[in-house]
């Protein structure tokens, strides 16, 4: 009797590229299923988020809470992480648990946090000054506790690229140091003054810092002006410097990061593919049977069905049959190992099942729905001109939005536009089958409807409040404005070329989220550090008449550019302003104010931040976007997808791809026109499939496709001889 | 009788990828040889440079010259270009001449310039105001008159990428416009003020411009501060904006530019390779003979020799024999077409011929030179420790340079260092054969010697002047300082990892020069435009007491940030300051001052410049550096080079590659140690070859290698059936 649970777990692990070496006893498998349950994952993410967001309530706080409250919540979080870890320890064999550095890291982090909390609590109880230093460790939990493979992979990829980056960075720093020495010798003795009247280029370390900042372009052209004012000739020095250090070295950094990123990611994806094959082979081993003496080991359709039902209870019978007919392309009623191994990839291909239903009105009152005027209306709405007319309406609306809304004519026109948009949605609902119109993949239909209805509600609420009390809520008005402007975005969808670019951007969306996590981890660490170093040094005063506002509450800032430019709110006084300040630093590295209020060495903090975020992480981000676009331009569809498509076509179940640009057919909503009242589709089967080929269920699938062309063909062969420890791949650093 | 001249021209054209369809009559071939002569090219570049540099002397001038003088020089230049064009017309058939848009472009440019000069002269003669508008056309001559294939290719590559860039740019602008509309609605009505007290975000076009500038990061975080000061929440708006428009869209621009660049360059290189094969086939047709009845058509060694002697008179007999033995690898005394076609590529491989000569002292006075102390000295100098000791000396020297040179101890230490460096050079000259030491490829030896001797001379002159009159020349002192600091660069060469990076940078040097020309063309056009639009609007006053200095001589600039930051010298008042200003604009787009002194629409000039230079050209530059580095990481040597190397090894003529890091063996100077007094090399042949594999004679060879992996193998097959018009490849725009 085949252990379907175990097989299903293997298939599911292969499909989602989970690399956990769990015990195969039925009890452990059940625990493992619980471990992978979406609810336990949601809970985990909730506690991580809670733990990270404690920074909002801890001193320096946005909303102050007593220490015992935050401590209590943090203890709760620690408890949750411990439970998760214990759960994990129960699932996998003991020796595997202790071999994984991830687990050690979690345990150490939890212990340190506990120790820190005790020390801090004791210090606070005796009214001493204490530092919650363990807060910088919190992002480590985000990296290690979750099954955040993408995030850990990004970190590994950075770690692997570091040696190469390091050498280029050394050369770059050497160049900066040499240029600084030259600047000191050429410009230091000329008695030049900066704009503040300070001596210009007389201190070597100051010059190094100034020239480093010039690479970030933050102080261009200010740093060069005193020398340039003295003579044309000195401009040459700065031109050469910018050329070499800003343009050439920064390109080299990108090249090195990009190259390493590609190299290591390729290696990881290769190992992922290998692990996936291996897991599928194990699932096959569980399900296999021998139909005839000496015959091949196969999996029967019944067993296959049962496993797929366990793995993906949500897919329809028809869809499952389609997958089976792709796997069993010779109609033998059973499949061999090679065909079975494909299953994990097949499940990752998103197939949209379309049911051809008549329009509800068609069923309810066919005489009216099939009458000549109704048919004409349907034809009009489906016409290309209808889309163009609505695009023009949107453009006119954009102009009206730009005009002054105090004018009553303009204010009332808003009702006209709202009515027009509502009419459009109603017309479409009249023409298209509502369930198809609001199908899961009809992004733009959902977008439109939600925006229009929200705008309608907000506008009604707003005018009701206005007419009743004469009082206008600023918040509601803001929401109305935002909704109005968002409506305009829909125009983009009408233009084929734009759609292609936006689809690529949407596709790399999940990966951008991974980078978002990466950035949050780094920002969090720097925010915690920054808050300890700089909290309260720069203050922002709401009251414009407060005399301290002119120098941000710190006399050291009197008459500095920082205070004059009104940067007082750029401070580390709480976690939110820290994050915003760090984002500003990512864009342009402005830190003069903080060195003024503390010590010159505070610059190290900012330079470190620049190196880590701008030189390393942003470059990896750019590298990823580049790679994703190149994949878009070169590869089109993977082999498996085309074989599935061939099958769909063979079965004559495919929906022809409309190339028209019209809104309703946009993106992945080709299913819409199935519900039209007219019956050009009457002779088609009632069930249709379409591959949402332009979407990837998982980031891994996208990555696999990105490097598919370069993958060794042998990786697709089955190699189940080695007994599997699917630890994350490790590399010897170059 | 074979026409060796004609064959040599074909081979030479193939070698340098010249695509001129010349007449094959002996007279036309002679004219064509003259056309390609280095002297006529130098003359041409001289006249182009002269023509371009006229901007220095024309109003607004750096050095003013009377109009008649500049006009006369320009007429001379025009005459030179006309002669060159007539010469070209004589070389190629008449119909080909008129089909080439390049020639039409030159003729039109020349005519327009002449017309403009006449109009301008007439206007000036009658004291009217005239604009020399034809000056913006001058860079067209740089592009079209010269055989600047690289430059024209870069322009073609930009032109071909434009449609793709255009669509992304439209989407980007759409995003900016939508965000601006939202900003207007959200922030415009709140009565916020900018730092200058002006209303904040109330004018739509102003907002669009401000947000566009935010993409260039020039006004971050200033543009966001008023909103951020009003509420935390508005920061979200700017964060989303920066994320989408600065990070994602700028990466997409790079991706699109890079992808198109690669695609079209690949196509061009493929056509180049095809044309090259075709030309070699023609050369073969001229030289071919049939040795036996019905036998293969071949080229004999005698004919081959004569052609190679004509094409490359500079290569030694031994080198030529080596090339022959690579081509005729079966020793038949003649080669077929396939082997002959390789010749063009073989000639492009740089083979260093090394002659093993004894050291002059060894010949003059062997008893002394081979004595034990002398041998010990040689061993010391060649030892790794010697390099390390001198690296340490350089580091100590760096510290001394950084110290105050007024201190007499420090000032005198300079003599010690100079003496040490001189000693090093003398010691090396004692150990190594001088001609090998100063061979053409010994970059660092030349560098060292020139720097040290110049420093010695400058220091002597300086101290002579000081001791005689007590007067120190600032210029000479500057030179001394620069030379001292430059000496430190040598340390880089001692570290293997740095050398690898620097070698890649040196290799892409020629291509960077192409980009330099490209940038100069664009800068020149914008400088001419900018000078007409903004000349005299912003003035710089040398005298610090001039009251007009505080507002750059323009009352409109009173109390603006532009004047306060002392940017007065950033102006368009002559061509040099225009170029420097444009470079500053490339780094950071600061243009508020110019909109203030003229009109708000002046911003269009600056936005156009940003789009063209930053979004297009800088991205192409980055794309090229990326590609060059990837080639470095992946491909190693081309097939032909390895076959040549194999041959060299077979003939036991190769110098083994020392992997040691020491200075003397650095870069391409492995030839040095051949001249050592000791004779471990005594049993080696007296003549050696080595492939300077890491150098490319031509940019085309580098490009060809860059895309070699992707080239169709059929392109390397001979296809001489089509009759050749080697016009530059054209593409249908996508």
**Greater confidence, A655 or A498?**
A498
The arithmetic mean of pLDDT across residues A165-190, rounded, is 89
Of A20-29, A365-374, A686-695, B546-555, the poorest mean pLDDT is in: A686-695
Please say if the pLDDT value at position A669 is more than 60: no
Of B236, B222, B241, B226, the closest CA to residue B180 belongs to B241
In this prediction, residue B662 carries a pLDDT of: 32
Q: To 10 degrees, the CA torsion angle through B292, B296, B301, B304?
A: 130
Given pLDDT bands bounded at 50, 70 and 90, which one contains residue B111? very high
Chain A residues touching B540 at Cβ < 8 A:
229
| ipTM here | 0.85
Q: How far is A73 from chain B (nearest CA, A)?
A: 26
Q: Which long-range contacts (CB under 8 A, 24 or more apart) does B242-247 make?
A: B242/A583, B242/A587, B242/B214, B244/B175, B245/B172, B245/B175, B245/B176, B245/B179, B245/B211, B245/B214, B245/B215, B246/A587, B246/B214, B246/B215, B246/B217, B247/A618, B247/A621
Tell me whether residues B485 and A167 touch, CB distance under 8 A.
no
Tell me whether residues A248 and B630 touch, CB distance under 8 A.
no
Q: What is the pLDDT of residues B66-83, one digit of tens each?
A: 888 999 999 999 999 999
- A355 by DSSP, 3-state: which? strand
**Greater confidence, A331 or A391?**
A391
Instruction: Tell which B residues from 612 to 651 touch A, by Cβ distance under 8 Å.
Output: 618, 621-622, 625-626, 628-630, 633
Chain B residues touching A230 at Cβ < 8 A:
none
Of A497, A508, A469, the closest CA to residue A627 belongs to A508
Best to test chain B binding among A162, A173, A177, A182 (most B CBs inside 10 Å):
A182
Q: How many CB pairs under 8 A join A and B?
A: 197
Of B102, B148, B151, B155, the closest CA to residue B261 belongs to B155
Q: What is the pLDDT of residues A391-420, one digit of tens each?
A: 888 888 888 888 776 777 777 888 888 899
Tell me whether residues B402 and A569 touch, CB distance under 8 A.
no
Please say if the pLDDT value at position A715 is more than 60: no
Please say if the pLDDT value at position B446 is more than 70: yes
In this prediction, residue A95 carries a pLDDT of: 85
Of A268-277, A448-457, A472-481, B97-106, the poorest mean pLDDT is in: A472-481
Q: How far is B587 from chain A (nearest CA, A)?
A: 6
Does A220 contact B at CB distance below 8 Å? Answer: yes
Instruction: Tell me which range, A146-155, A644-653, B396-405, B694-703, is most confidently predicted by mean pLDDT.
Output: B396-405
Neighbouring C-alpha atoms within 13 Å toward the C-beta of A165? 22
Of A595, A543, A546, A591, the closest CA to residue A567 belongs to A591
Instruction: Tell which A residues from 227 to 266 touch B, by Cβ distance under 8 Å.
Output: 228-229, 232, 235, 239, 242, 246-248, 251-252, 254-256, 258-259
Name the residue among B184, B492, B628 with its Cβ closest to that of A171.
B492
Tell me whether residues B259 and A512 touch, CB distance under 8 A.
no
Run of H or E residues at B289 = strand B289-290
**Greater confidence, A293 or A656?**
A293
Tell me whether residues A625 and B588 touch, CB distance under 8 A.
no
Q: What is the CB neighbour count within 10 angstroms for residue A245?
A: 19
In this prediction, residue B221 carries a pLDDT of: 82
Are B394 and B488 in contact by the 8 Å Cβ rule? The answer is yes
Best to test chain A binding among B625, B631, B632, B734 (most A CBs inside 10 Å):
B625
CATH architecture, range A369-494 = Up-down Bundle (1.20)
The arithmetic mean of pLDDT across residues B463-478, rounded, is 75
Q: How far is B216 from chain A (nearest CA, A)?
A: 9
In this prediction, residue A712 carries a pLDDT of: 56
Of B288, B461, B299, B487, the closest CA to residue B390 belongs to B487
Please say if the pLDDT value at position A450 is more than 70: yes
Tell me whether residues B248 and A588 touch, CB distance under 8 A.
no
Q: How far is B422 from chain A (nearest CA, A)?
A: 22
Please say if the pLDDT value at position A525 is more than 50: yes
Does B506 contact A at CB distance below 8 Å? Answer: no
| Dihedral sign, Cα of residue B691, residue B695, residue B696, residue B697 | negative
In this prediction, residue A471 carries a pLDDT of: 64
In this prediction, residue B538 carries a pLDDT of: 85
Q: Which chain B residue is nearest to residue A627, measuring alpha carbons?
A: B255
Of A295, A273, A369, the closest CA to residue A676 belongs to A369
Q: Which chain A residue is nearest to residue B170, measuring alpha carbons?
A: A498
Please say if the pLDDT value at position A82 is more than 90: yes
Instruction: Tell me which range, B172-176, B193-197, B276-280, is most confidently predicted by mean pLDDT.
Output: B172-176
Instruction: Tell me which range, A270-274, A660-664, B301-305, B651-655, is most confidently predicted by mean pLDDT.
Output: B301-305
Q: How far apart are CA B558 and CA A224, in angstroms?
A: 22
Tell me whether residues A186 and B482 touch, CB distance under 8 A.
yes
Q: What is the pLDDT of residues B346-398, one digit of tens each?
A: 887 777 666 666 778 888 888 888 888 888 888 888 888 888 898 888 888 88
**Greater confidence, B688 or B489?**
B489
Tell me whether residues B168 and A501 touch, CB distance under 8 A.
yes
Does A482 contact B at CB distance below 8 Å? Answer: yes
Given pLDDT bands bounded at 50, 70 and 90, which one contains residue A423? very high
Q: How far apart are CA B616 and CA B254, in angstroms?
A: 8
In this prediction, residue B712 carries a pLDDT of: 55
Percent of chain B with pLDDT over 70: 84
In this prediction, residue B325 carries a pLDDT of: 81
Q: What is the mean pLDDT of chain B?
A: 80
Name the residue among A170, A226, A629 with its Cβ closest to that of B252.
A629
CATH architecture, range B19-146 = Up-down Bundle (1.20)
In this prediction, residue A689 carries a pLDDT of: 65
In this prediction, residue B732 carries a pLDDT of: 38
Chain B residues touching A258 at Cβ < 8 A:
626, 630
Tell me whether residues A256 and B629 touch, CB distance under 8 A.
yes
| Dihedral sign, Cα of residue B231, residue B236, residue B241, residue B247 | positive
Of B139, B240, B138, the closest CA to residue B183 belongs to B240
Residue A302, C-beta contacts closer than 8 angstroms, at least 6 positions apart: none
Given pLDDT bands bounded at 50, 70 and 90, which one contains residue B708? low
Are A680 and A342 in contact by the 8 Å Cβ rule? The answer is no
Provide DSSP, A39-69: HHHHHHHHHHHHHHHGGGTSSS-SS---HHH
Please say if the pLDDT value at position B297 is more than 60: yes
The arithmetic mean of pLDDT across residues B559-569, rounded, is 81
Structural class in CATH, domain B371-505: mainly alpha
In this prediction, residue B177 carries a pLDDT of: 92
Q: Where are the domains of chain A?
A: 19-146, 369-494, 509-633
In this prediction, residue B670 carries a pLDDT of: 36
Chain A residues touching B568 at Cβ < 8 A:
229
Given pLDDT bands bounded at 50, 70 and 90, which one contains residue B202? confident
Does A369 contact B at CB distance below 8 Å? Answer: no
Tell me whether residues B170 and A498 touch, CB distance under 8 A.
yes
The arithmetic mean of pLDDT across residues B29-42, rounded, is 87
Tell me whether residues B587 and A242 touch, CB distance under 8 A.
yes
Name the residue among B239, B398, B565 with its Cβ closest to that of A583.
B239
Given pLDDT bands bounded at 50, 70 and 90, which one contains residue A653? low
Q: How far apart are CA A567 and CA A575, in angstroms?
A: 17
Q: What is the CB neighbour count within 10 angstroms for residue B150?
A: 19
Q: What is the pLDDT of residues B620-643, one digit of tens each?
A: 888 888 877 777 666 555 556 666
H runs (alpha helix) in A201-244:
204-215, 225-230, 233-241
Q: What is the pLDDT of residues B256-279, one digit of tens each?
A: 888 887 888 778 878 888 888 888
Q: Any idea how long chain A is?
A: 734
Q: What is the pLDDT of residues A84-134, one digit of tens each?
A: 999 988 888 888 888 888 889 999 999 999 999 999 989 988 888 888 888
Structure token pair of residue A653:
């179940």
Chain B residues touching A402 at Cβ < 8 A:
181, 184, 204
Please say if the pLDDT value at position A684 is more than 60: no
Q: How far apart are CA B162 and CA B586, in angstroms?
A: 20
Q: What is the mean pLDDT of chain A?
A: 80
Domains B19-146 and B371-505 in one fold: yes
Run of H or E residues at B632 = helix B619-633
Instruction: Tell which A residues from 565 to 584 touch B, by Cβ distance under 8 Å.
Output: 565-570, 576-577, 580, 583-584
In this prediction, residue A714 carries a pLDDT of: 52
Q: What is the pLDDT of residues B120-152, one digit of tens each?
A: 989 988 888 888 888 899 988 888 876 667 788
Instruction: Tell which A residues from 345 to 364 touch B, by Cβ distance under 8 Å.
Output: none
Tell me whether residues A501 and B252 touch, CB distance under 8 A.
yes
In this prediction, residue A371 carries a pLDDT of: 85
């Amino acid at each position: 009797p085949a252990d379907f649970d175990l097989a299903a777990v293997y298939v599911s692990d292969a499909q989602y590229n989970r690399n956990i070496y769990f015990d195969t006893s039925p009890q452990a498998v059940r625990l493992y299923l619980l471990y992978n349950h979406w609810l336990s994952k949601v809970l985990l993410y909730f506690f991580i988020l809670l733990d990270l967001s404690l920074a909002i309530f801890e001193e320096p706080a946005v909303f102050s809470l007593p220490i015992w409250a935050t401590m209590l919540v943090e203890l709760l979080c620690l408890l949750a992480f411990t439970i998760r870890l214990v759960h994990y320890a129960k699932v996998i064999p003991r020796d595997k648990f202790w071999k994984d550095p991830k687990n050690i890291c979690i345990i150490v982090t939890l212990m340190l946090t506990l120790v820190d909390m005790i020390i801090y609590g004791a210090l606070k109880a005796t009214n001493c000054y204490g530092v919650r230093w363990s807060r910088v460790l919190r992002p480590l939990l985000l990296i290690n506790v979750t099954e955040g493979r993408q995030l850990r992979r990004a970190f590994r990829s950075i770690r692997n690229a570091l040696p190469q980056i390091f050498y280029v960075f050394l050369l770059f720093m050497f160049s900066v140091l040499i240029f600084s020495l030259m600047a000191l010798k050429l410009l230091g003795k000329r008695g030049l003054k900066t704009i503040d009247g300070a001596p210009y280029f007389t201190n070597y370390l100051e010059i190094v810092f100034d020239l480093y900042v010039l690479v970030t372009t933050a102080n261009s052209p200010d740093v060069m002006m005193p020398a340039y004012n003295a003579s044309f000739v000195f401009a040459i020095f700065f031109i050469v410097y910018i050329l070499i250090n800003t343009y050439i070295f920064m390109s080299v950094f990108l090249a090195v990061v990009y190259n390493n990123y590609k190299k290591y990611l390729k290696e990881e994806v290769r190992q992922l593919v290998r692990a996936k094959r291996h897991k599928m082979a194990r699932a096959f081993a569980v399900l296999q049977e021998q139909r005839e003496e000496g015959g091949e080991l196969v999996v029967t359709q019944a067993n296959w069905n049962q496993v797929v039902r366990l793995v993906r209870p949500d897919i329809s019978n028809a869809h499952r049959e389609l997958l089976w007919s792709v796997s069993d392309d010779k109609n033998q009623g059973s499949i061999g190992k090679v065909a079975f191994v494909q299953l994990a990839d097949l499940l990752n291909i998103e197939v949209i099942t379309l049911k051809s239903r008549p329009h509800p009105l068609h069923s309810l009152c066919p005489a009216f729905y099939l009458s000549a005027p109704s048919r004409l209306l349907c034809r009009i709405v489906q016409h290309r001109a209808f889309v163009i007319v609505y695009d023009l309406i949107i453009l006119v609306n954009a102009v009206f939005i730009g005009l002054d809304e105090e004018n009553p004519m303009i204010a009332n026109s808003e009702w006209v536009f709202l009515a027009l948009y509502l009419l459009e949605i109603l017309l479409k609902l009249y023409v298209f089958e509502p369930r198809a119109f609001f199908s899961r993949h009809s992004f733009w239909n959902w977008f439109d409807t939600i925006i229009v209805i929200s705008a309608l509600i907000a506008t009604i609420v707003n005018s009701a409040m206005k007419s009743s009390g004469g009082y206008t809520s600023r918040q509601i008005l803001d929401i109305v404005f935002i909704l109005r402007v968002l409506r305009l975005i829909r125009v983009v969808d009408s233009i084929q070329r734009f759609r292609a670019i936006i689809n690529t951007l949407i596709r790399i969306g999940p990966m951008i989220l991974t980078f978002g996590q990466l950035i949050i981890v780094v920002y969090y660490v720097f925010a915690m550090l920054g808050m300890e170093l700089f909290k309260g040094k720069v203050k922002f005063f709401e009251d414009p008449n407060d005399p301290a506002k002119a120098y941000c509450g710190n006399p050291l800032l009197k008459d500095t550019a920082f205070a004059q430019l009104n940067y007082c709110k750029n401070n580390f006084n709480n976690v939110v302003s820290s994050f915003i300040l760090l984002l500003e630093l990512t864009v342009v590295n402005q830190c003069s104010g903080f060195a003024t209020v503390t010590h010159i060495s505070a610059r190290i903090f900012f330079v470190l931040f620049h190196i880590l975020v701008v030189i390393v992480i942003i470059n990896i981000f750019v590298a990823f976007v580049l790679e994703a676009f190149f994949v878009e331009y070169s590869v089109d569809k993977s082999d498996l997808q085309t074989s599935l498509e061939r099958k769909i076509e063979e079965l004559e179940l495919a929906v022809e791809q409309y190339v028209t640009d019209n809104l309703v057919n946009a993106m992945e909503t080709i299913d819409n026109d199935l519900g039209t009242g007219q019956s050009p589709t009457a002779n088609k089967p009632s069930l249709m499939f379409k591959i949402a080929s332009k979407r990837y269920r998982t980031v891994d699938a996208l990555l696999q496709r990105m490097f598919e062309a370069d993958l060794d063909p042998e990786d697709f062969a089955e190699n189940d001889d080695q007994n599997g420890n699917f630890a994350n791949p490790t590399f010897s650093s170059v």
